Amino acid sequence: MRVAFINSDLGYGSTGRIVCDLYQEVIKEGNEAMIGYGRECTQEGYHSHRIGSLLSVYSHAMLTRLFDLQGFGSVHATKRFIRRLREYNPDILHLHNLHGSYLNIKLLFEYMKESNKPVIWTLHDCWAFTGHCAYYTYARCNKWKTHCHNCIQKKVYPASFFLDNSSNNYKWKKDLFLGVEKLTITTVSHWLKSQVKQSFLKDIKVRIIPNGIDLELFKPTESDFRSKYGLEGKIVLLGVASIWQERKGLWLFQELAKRLEDPYKIALVGVTEKQKQRLTDKILVLERTNHIKDLVKIYSAADVFLNPSIEETFGMVSLEALACGIPVISNRYSANPELVKEEGGIVVPKLNSTCFIEAIRELMLNPRSKENCRNIAQQYDKNKCYQAYLDLYREVMK
């Protein structure tokens, strides 16, 4: 069996790590694999092909900024990659994030319809069935259910500062994505599957395969984090994000910091220098780290993990915290409740600082054990999740 993966990144970020892990599982079983990627590469030693160059990514991004054409640039880069795919002749194509200004979806899907090979498309967000955005819960927009137009999130990723092409994008995506005979969609949560089933992709087969986690890496770990930052005797409330945006709830941590006194201390990972200037100095601010072992030590040093994001198609940071034995407080929006069970945390009814403070105090009175948190994470052991993909590969090959 020969598998070709396509994703925006290789090794970088959650989807980049997932693709690398899946690649290794395919190779381990005596099969062949390659990865097509367009942006960041933080891992060496993989049979990979970069789709285009930094210049082609910038050109595609400019098309998006000016004309709202995310996914419709990178023509020459995609043609070269498709020639590479024809040479490689994969038995299965496994798609992940196709947005990111590196790939022309029109050319790719025309190739897939022509080649008639089995295709698995793992959705990590909602971009596949909207005319513009990757998330819409925060904006409370339902236009994607019928036909996108007059996009209220035009300036949100993938941002366009001039034209609104959401109506055409919606139509083009619908025409392109429907009609791939051997397409199977996988979603990382029940919530995301429910969204797909309300979209123009509703008649395509959908399988739920959650994101997996390396339980040998993410586990309670000895840490000098508290002593390093003077947090001994504090109740550490942790938040982690690769990119902090309003939908991720950065504003809530600001409110909590103003309302919570000693011994509570908020620590945030992934904050930019510009965002740091707007936050109260009561918050311990740390830059994003790609060193997983450092992140595990930070998780392990916390008392409670807070995830106020209302747009989580899975909630990987919540799972990472649980795997490190840390209880989680989150909200009822999107996929959050699927991970945050009563034995491992609290789901608050409303997204405000009062509800979060009540939940924090409840956990102080009735703490969740590290064992219970780990038990929840055990259900998402990456070995089980990746085995589900290997089983799916064999199934679609038949």
In the chain, domain spans: 2-212+381-397, 225-378
pLDDT score at 27 = 97
pLDDT score at 197 = 98
pLDDT score at 291 = 84
pLDDT score at 109 = 98
Do domains 2-212+381-397 and 225-378 share one topology? The answer is yes
pLDDT score at 398 = 84
The count of residues in the chain is 398
pLDDT of 12 strictly over 90: no
Right CATH for 2-212+381-397 from 3.40.50.2000, 3.40.50.80, 3.30.70.360, 3.40.718.10: 3.40.50.2000
Question: What would the mean pLDDT of 12-39 be, rounded to a whole number?
Answer: 94
pLDDT score at 289 = 81
Percent of the chain, pLDDT > 90?
A: 93
Sequence-ordered strand ranges (E) for the chain: 2-7, 32-37, 48-50, 92-95, 119-123, 183-187, 205-208, 235-240, 264-269, 284-286, 304-307, 328-331, 345-348
Right CATH for 225-378 from 3.30.360.10, 3.40.50.2000, 1.25.40.10, 3.30.70.980: 3.40.50.2000
Tokens of 81: 């990659």
Question: What would the mean pLDDT of 252-261 be, rounded to a whole number?
Answer: 95
What separation in angstroms does the CA of 163 have from each of 25, 131, 142, 370?
A: 43, 13, 21, 50
Give tens-digit pLDDT for 70-95: 999 999 999 999 999 999 999 999 99
| Cα angle 261-266-267, degrees, rounded to a multiple of 5 | 155
Backbone angles phi, psi at 176, to 5 degrees: -75, -45
Give tens-digit pLDDT for 310-338: 999 999 999 999 999 999 999 999 999 99
pLDDT score at 288 = 83
pLDDT of 229 strictly over 90: yes
Give tens-digit pLDDT for 361-388: 999 999 999 999 999 999 999 999 999 9
* 3-state DSSP assignment of residue 265: strand
Confidence of residue 106 (pLDDT cuts 50, 70, 90): very high
Question: What would the mean pLDDT of 104-127 be, rounded to a whole number?
Answer: 97
Give tens-digit pLDDT for 258-280: 999 999 999 999 999 889 888 99
pLDDT of 60 strictly over 80: yes
Closest to 321 in 3D by CA, of 338, 342, 337, 297: 297
pLDDT score at 161 = 96
pLDDT score at 246 = 82
- pTM comes to 0.94
Q: How many helices (H) and strands (E) does the chain have?
A: 15, 13
Percent of the chain, pLDDT > 70?
A: 100
Question: What would the mean pLDDT of 85-106 be, rounded to a whole number?
Answer: 98
Confidence of residue 242 (pLDDT cuts 50, 70, 90): confident
Give tens-digit pLDDT for 282-313: 999 998 887 889 999 999 999 999 999 999 99
C-alpha–C-alpha distance, residues 236 and 266, integer Å: 6
pLDDT score at 264 = 97
Which of 65-69, 192-196, 270-274 bottoms out in mean pLDDT, i.e. has the lowest?
270-274
> How much is the mean pLDDT over the chain?
96
pLDDT of 215 strictly over 90: yes
